[in-house]
Every structure is written in structure tokens, then in C-alpha cells.
Amino acid sequence: MSSFENLFISHNNRYSSKWQHYFEIYDRHLSHLKHKPIVLLEIGVSQGGPLQLWKKYFGTQSKIYGIDLNPKSRFYEDQIEVFIGDQTDTVFLNHVINNIGRPDVIIDDGSHIQSHVIKTFDFLFPHLADNGIYIIEDCHTSYWPRFEGGVNSHLNVVDILSRTAHDVNTKWYNEPRTPKIKQLNSIHFYDSVIVLEKRPKQFTRHMVTYRDWE
């Protein structure tokens, strides 16, 4: 199946808008899920073009869902459904999860308001499937005051999530620190994008190879 960029370039259906450098990130973190029965949930879908692209990208076994605040964003087609509601409304988000199950992929391309992004993440990440992937897009808004951002803003999403790097290594420390993100396997920071991968903590085996001294 084609890369996301090829699909985007050839897309001639509903409107979609993405920064070009996101495409490589998608392929790096999501290509292993192609042709599998995955559930994807994207927050902020505009006219629905991104959902159609994800449907093409992952194939016929995938189920693609969207969330948007604008009632005009509601539409249905085979494998695709959009829910209308506020990404900070946990009652609404719980309703969505009860209907779609645990998503394998969650993409936040919603309001980009920093407090919204964090509240949505805090609620949805625990509902992400084991081995799931959570992507936060357009993180350049973390530096714009109109989105509650700024390098020194206490709501800056990049800054807040950068402090969770210790959560990848919880099995190695004994200090009385409660992880903010449980089951965090890895966190990746890119230009305007943060990718978090979830995996249940597993026993790590230290392996050694032996060779006789010469």
C-alpha cells in the first residue's frame, strides 16, 4: 500500500489539510498497522478528508472514527463515523469509547488549546489499546499565547509531556514517584508532533554472549 504522502497527493474527495513533514512520521509509527483490524479515532476532522485518507491507508479491515465540535462535520460512509461533541467533555468521550471500543490509534488534531489537549490526553490515553499509539499534532501552538501557549506557560503541552520521560523507565527507579503516564513505552518529539506509544510493562531479560579470551 502507498505511503501516506502518496495517498494525500492523489486524494480527490473531502478536504484535508496536513503539514508535509507529518507524512514521514505517520509512516514511521503507523505503517505496521496496515491491513489489520484496527480502530482509529481522530479528534478534529473538519470536512472528513483525513478520515478518508486513514481508511485508504489502513485498508478494508480498519474502522475509522472522528470527533468534531462542528455539527457540519458529521458524516458516515463505509468504515467511517463522526461523533459531534467537545473533546474536553469526559462524559461525551466516555460515550464515544463505549461505542467504538479501545482505539489502537488516537490522533489529537482538535482545538490545540493547551488545557484541552492535556485534559483529552489524560482521559483518553488510559483507554488506548495495549500497544496503541497516541499522536498530538500541531504542537507549534504550544508556543502561541492565543492557544494558552508560550515557552514559559505552565500549560505548554511540549513542556508538560517532556517531564514524563521518566515514565518510560518506571521499573528502574525506587523513588516514591507516581508516574503521570502508566504503560508508557516510548515518547517521541518531532517538529510540531508528539508520538506516545503504549505497552504493558514487561520483564526485561539481560542477555549476554560469551567468547573465550584469546
Query: 173: which 3 cell numbers?
Result: 527507579
Alpha-carbon distance 119 to 210, whole Å?
A: 50
d(CA 177, CA 29): 29
Instruction: Give the pLDDT confidence of 61-83 residue by residue, as tens digits.
Output: 999 999 999 999 998 999 999 99
Low-confidence ranges of the chain (pLDDT < 50): 1
The residue type found at 36 is: K
- What is the CB neighbour count within 10 angstroms for residue 129? 15
Q: How far apart are CA 32 and CA 206, in angstroms?
A: 27
pLDDT in tens, 24-61: 999 999 999 999 999 999 999 988 889 999 999 999 99
Catalytic residue among 112, 127, 154, 166: 112
State whether residue 108 is helix, strand or coil: strand
What is this structure's pTM? 0.91
Q: Where are the beta strands (DSSP E) in 7-98?
A: 39-43, 63-68, 76-77, 80-84
For residue 106, the tally of other CB atoms under 10 A from its CB is 27
pLDDT the model gives residue 7 = 83
- Which among 62, 42, 38, 61 has a CA at the least distance from the CA of 51? 42
User: Does the annotation count 95 as an active-site position?
Assistant: no
Cα separation, 143 vs 150, in Å, equals 4
CA dihedral 196, 69, 100, 42 (to 10 degrees): -30
